[in-house]
Homo-oligomer: A and B are copies of this chain.
Amino acid sequence: MRLFRERGYDKTTMRAIAREAGVSVGNAYYYFDGKEHLIQGFYDRIAADHREAVREVLDRETGLEARLAGVLKAWLDVATPYHEFAVQFFKNAADPDSPLSPFSPESEHARVEAVGVHREVLTGSKARVPADLRDVLPELMWLAQMGLCLYWIFDRTEGRERSYRLAERGARLTARGVSLARFRVLRPLVHEVHELFTDFLPGMARALPDPAGRARGE
């Protein structure tokens, strides 16, 4: 991560990474197929750190807004040391066809983990959620988290103060959206928004487990 931060992702070679880690290049390739796989390891680590960081707030809060705000702010906390890296890495990850994109098939492991946190935000809350939305809403909430991430990357305020405020506002808005999503008239729209994302973001359709077990083609 230090090399990526200092030289930029594009200019950091596996050779330099191996040298820095004090291992041979062959050895480095034994553990990671390439730089992209190191990034997947990084995504996994962020996801695991985040899962740990949200424990306390998810054990304490029962309101959906408070749970979601806590989870989003914990994500900002966990990501803080990597802000500088994220700024320069962004142009690689923003391409949805890149294996580095959070929407790619390669990022599935970290994504499933992250969506799982939002599933817990929802199921552990007092919010009443119709059965057919229980798998859709956590994925949409995770997409909202990706939106926050994009905002945070460009946030230059002291201590990323605006991102924290956006996390709170976003949580309030999402909680209202979820409480409205149960209205029968709106449910088809929620499903359609969700389908739009899974159909147009590569990797997502395959990666997100389909509870009904239906085959989902491209």
Contact = CB atoms under 8 A, between A and B. Distances in A.
A173 B154 contact: no
A65 to B, nearest CB: 13
Interface of A, helix, strand, loop or mixed by DSSP: helix
A186 interface: yes
A198 to B, nearest CB: 12
A169 to B, nearest CB: 6
Contact of A176 (B90, B173, B192): B192
A50 to B, nearest CB: 22
A94 interface: yes
Contacts of A189: 173, 176-177, 180
A interface bracket (residues with beta carbon within 8 Å of B)? 20 to 34
Interface in A131-184: 151, 154, 156, 162, 166, 169-170, 172-173, 176-177, 180, 183
Contact of A154 (B97, B176, B183, B188): B97
Given A154-B94, A154-B96, A162-B200, A173 B185 contact: no
Contacts of A199: 169
A173 B200 contact: no
Interface of A: 90-91, 94-97, 151, 154, 156, 162, 166, 169-170, 172-173, 176-177, 180, 183, 185-186, 188-189, 192-193, 196, 199-200
